[in-house]
Structure 1
Amino acid sequence: DPEEVEREKMVVLQEIKLTEDTPEEHIHDLFNRSFWGDHPLGVPIAGEEGTVKAFSRDKVLDFFARHYRAPRMVVAAAGNLRHEEVVEVVEACLGHLPEGGGELQRRSPERVEGGLKVFEKELEQVHLCLGVRAPSHTDPRRFPVMVLNTLLGGNMSSRLFQEVREKRGLTYSIYSFFNTYADAGVLGVYAGTTPEELPEVLELISKELKELREGRLSEGEVAVAKEYLKGGMVLSLENPEGRMARLAKNEIYFGRYIPPEETLREIDGVSLEKILEVGEEFLDGSRPCLVMLGEVQGGELPPL
C-alpha cells in the first residue's frame, strides 16, 4: 500500500529528528560517520532524511526481493515452545521466500585515521565520543578487550566513572563501549560535560587510556571485571529475548550454537598478560578519532 509506505516514512523521519534533538544519542551517529567514513557502518540505523524521503513503494519492494531470500535469513526462537511447532510456523510464513541470491557483497572498513571533528551547536553541555579500532566479533582477542572495556568505563566501579564522575564530579554521564561487527570493531568513550570542564575531562580520559596502555592494573581489578562480565551474561540468559538474540548472533557470526559455558570459559581464560597485549596493541598511542557536539573552545583542548 503506497499510503502505508508514506505513513511509515513520516514515522521514521520523526525518529530521525528525535535523535538529532537528543545530543547524547546524536553524538554516536556523528561519531560513527566520522569513524567509519563512507562505509555502511557509518550510516545511522534510521537512515538520513533525504534518503528516507526518496523511498517509494517500488524501491522498498525491490530491496525486499533482492535481499530477503531464504539462504540469507536466520530465525531464532526461545522460551516456552516446541521446535516442531516453530518450524511449521516459519515454513508457513516464510516458505515462499525465493532461494538463491548468492553471498552478500561486503567490504571491510578501512583502517581509521585519527582526527578531531567538532559539530557546533548551542547546548548546555559538550558531548564527546572518542574511539580507536578494536577486534571484530569473530576475533579471539575480543575477550581481553571486553575485560579492558569493563575496567575502563564499563560499569559504575570502572576507572573513568570513579575518577571523572564520582571523585571529581566533572560529568553526569561517562562510559566506555566496545562494539563488534563481522570484520571490525571499535573501543570508545562517551562523556557529557560543560564547555569549561571539557579540557580536564579530556585530560583524564587520556590519562586513563595511557595507564591501561602501559599496563598499570592489578590482578584484583581484572578478577572483578571478569566476574562482572560473567554475571551480566548469566543474567541475560534469564530473559528469553536475550537467549533468542544470542542464538541468532552466534548462528550469523559462527554458523553454530555456542553454549554459554564456552563463553564463560573464554572470559575466565583472560589473563592480565592478555589484557596488557591488547592494551598495547589497540591503545598504541596513535591519535584516536574524537568527535564533539556543542560549544567547544578548541584552543583550550589538551593533546590526546
Structure 2
Amino acid sequence: MDNFRKTTLDNGVRVITEHIDHVRSAAIGFWFETGSRDENPDERGISHFLEHMLFKGTGKRSALQIAREIEQVGGHLNAFTSKELTVYHASMLNDFLPLAVDTLADMASHSQFADKMIEREQGVVLEEISGSEDSPEDVVHEDFSHLLYGKHPLGSPILGTRDSVSSFTRDDVLNYWSRRYKPENMLISAAGAVDHDKVVKLVERKLNLPSEAVKRSKRKLPKVRKDTRHERRKPIVQAHLTIGGEGLSYASEERYPFFVMNTVLGGGMSSRLFQRLRERSGLAYSVYPFHEAYHDSGLYGVYVGLEEKQVKRAEKMIREELQKLINKPISKASLKRAKDQLKGGLTLGLESSAARMHRLARMDIYLKRFVSLDELLEGIDSVSIEGVQEVSRTLFDKELIVATVLPDGSVPQMG
C-alpha cells in the first residue's frame, strides 16, 4: 500500500501511481470514462474514431511527430476503445516519462481535427470495419452481443457502421470531444519507476481540457433480450459458434468464484472445454470461454470454431459441461489446481509496469479503491466448492443464447 498513491486535482482529474522497486521502466495511461455505450444513435463509432484522430496532429506536433516521439526513445505508444473506456497509453524508460506526459497531454488537449485528416481517417476506419466483417470470429462475437443487448449501445459494434463513420464531420468530432473528454471523466494512472508528486506536477502543467463542469449523464441500464438464437451465413469454410448469456458486472460479489469457475471450464489446455472438445473429441482447434464485465452488466459465453456438421454436437457438449458445473460440485483437487493456476498467472502477469498501470486504473474506475495483490490472492483462496457451484447457477441455470456464423457453400474446401 505504501507504493500506491492517489491525488485528485482541482479540476477533477484523478492521478494514481504505483511505485515499483527495482525497475527502470514506466507506463502511463490517460483513461477517459467514455466508450461506445455513451454514444447517441447517430454517433455510433465516434468514440473509436476520436481515438484515431488524437494521433493525427496537434498545434505543435504533426501526426508523424506523435508517432515518432515515443518510438525514437525505445518506447511504445498506443490506444484502445472499449464499450466504456477510451485509453491512450505509453511505456518507456522512466527517464522519458516527462516526454510521454507531454505527448499524451498535447494529444488530449490540443488535437486539431483537421478536415483533411478526418476524411483520410474515415477511409482507414472503413477498412478496419471491412477487416472485422471479413473475420467470422469477430462477426459471431458481435452477433452474440447484439443478441444479448439488442438496440442498447452495448449491443452495437465499437467501430460503428459504414454509414455512421462516413457521416462524421469536424463539428461532430469536436462536439463529442468537448462533451466527453472532461476532467471529471478522466483518470491518469502510472506505474513503474515513477515519483507520484512529479507525475502530478507534470499533469497539472501540461494537461488543458475543457473545464466547464457538466453533470455526468447516467448510463442506461441494459435489458437482456429474450431472443435466443441468431444464424447468418457467409462465404467461409469453417463454422463459428458462441453460446452463453448475461455475465457478471466488474464489481460483482461473485467475481472470485467466477475466476475459479472460468479457470476450471476454459483456463488453458488442461481445462474441461479444451480436453473434451479438442483433445478427446477432435472437434475443434480453437475453443475458449469469453467474458466482458461492465459497470452494471456483463456477458459470458463459450466460442468454438469447427466444421458445420459438428456444430450441433459441439453445442450439446458445451451445454453438458455447463450443466455439470451446476449439478456436480468440483473436486477439492480441481479447486486447488484452479486456484494455483489463477494465482500464478495473476502474479506473473503483474510483473510489468504496463500491466500494473492498467490494473490500477481499472480498480479505481470499477471498484473505487486500490486492491493489493495480497488481497486479490486472499480473495481467490477464499473461494469454496459451493461458491463455484453457485456462480455456475447464476450464469448457466437459464435459457442460453446461441449465435452462429456458418458457411454459405460458396467457398470450396481445399484438398
The alignment's TM-score, normalised by the length of structure 2, stands at 0.69
- Quote the residue 2:281 is aligned against: 168
Residue 291 of structure 1 corresponds to which residue in structure 2? 403
The match for 1:193 is 306
* Correspondences of 1:124-273 after superposition (within 5 Å): 124-273=237-386
- Equivalenced residue count is 296
Q: Identify the range of structure 1 (4-13 vs 97-106) with the bigger mean alpha-carbon deviation.
A: 97-106
| Distance change (3 Å), C-alpha of 1:45 and 1:216 | same
Report if aligned partners of 1:126, 1:296 keep a CA contact under 8 Å in 2: no
Distance 1:296 1:118, change over 3 A: farther
Deviations 1:133-181 (A, max 9, x none): 2221111112111211111112211101000001111001001123211
For the 8 Å contact 1:78–1:240, the answer to whether it is kept is yes
**1:114–1:288 CA distance, 2 compared to 1 (3 A):** farther
Task: State the shift of 1:225 in Å.
Answer: 1.1
Between the aligned partners of 2:407 and 2:329, the Cα distance in structure 1 is: 34
Q: In structure 1, what is the equivalent of residue 133 of structure 2? A: 20
Judge conservation of contact 2:182–2:211 (CA < 8 Å) in 1.
yes
Q: In 2 relative to 1, CA 139–296 (structure 1 residues): closer, same or farther, beyond 3 Å? A: farther
CA deviation vs aligned residue, 1:8-33 (integer Å, no higher than 9, x gap): 21111111111111112222112111
Once the two structures are TM-superposed, the CA of residue 99 in structure 1 deviates from its matched residue by 4.2
CA distance in 1 between counterparts of 2:123 and 2:169 reads 13
Do 1:118 and 1:296's aligned partners in 2 also have CA atoms closer than 8 Å?
no
Counterpart pick for 1:115 among 206, 228, 236? 228
For residues 63-114 of structure 1, the C-alpha deviation after alignment (integer angstroms, 9 at most, x for no partner) is: 0111111111111111222222222222233244314111232011113425
**Distance 1:114-1:161 versus aligned 2 partners, 3 A rule:** farther
Q: Distance in 2 between matches of 1:182 and 1:90?
A: 27
**Structure 1 residue 58: deviation in Å?**
0.6
| Equivalent residue letter for 1:292 | T
Instruction: Mark the runs of 5 or more structure 2 residues left unpaired by the alignment.
Output: 1-113, 410-415
Amino acid at match of 2:176: F
List gaps (5 residues or longer) in structure 1. Answer: 298-304
Assess if the C-alpha contact under 8 Å between 1:174 and 1:192 holds in 2: yes
Conservation of the 8 A alpha-carbon contact between 2:181 and 2:209: no
**d(CA) in 2 for partners of 1:11, 1:19:** 13
- The answer on whether the counterparts of 2:224 and 2:246 sit within 8 Å (CA) in structure 1 is yes
Change (3 A) 1:10 1:102: same
Q: How far 1:204 moved relative to its partner?
A: 0.7
Tell me the amino acid that sits aligned with residue 300 of structure 2: L
Match of 1:39 among 149, 152, 174: 152
Aligned equivalents of 2:193 and 2:394: distance in 1?
A: 45
% identical equivalent positions: 38
Structure 2 residue identity aligned to 1:87 = V
Runs of 4+ in 1 over 6 A off after TM superposition: none
Structure with the larger helix share: 1
Q: Which has the higher strand share?
A: 2
* Secondary structure at 2:191 match in 1: coil
Instruction: Tell me the residue number matched to 1:51.
Output: 164
Alignment of 1:60-99 (within 5 A): 60-99=173-212
Contact 2:329 2:386 (C-alpha < 8 Å) held by counterparts: no
CA RMSD across the alignment: 1.6
> Which 10-residue stretch deviates more, 86-95 or 21-30?
86-95
Distance 1:281 1:62 in 2: 41
| CA distance, structure 2, for counterparts of residue 156 and residue 147 of structure 1 | 15
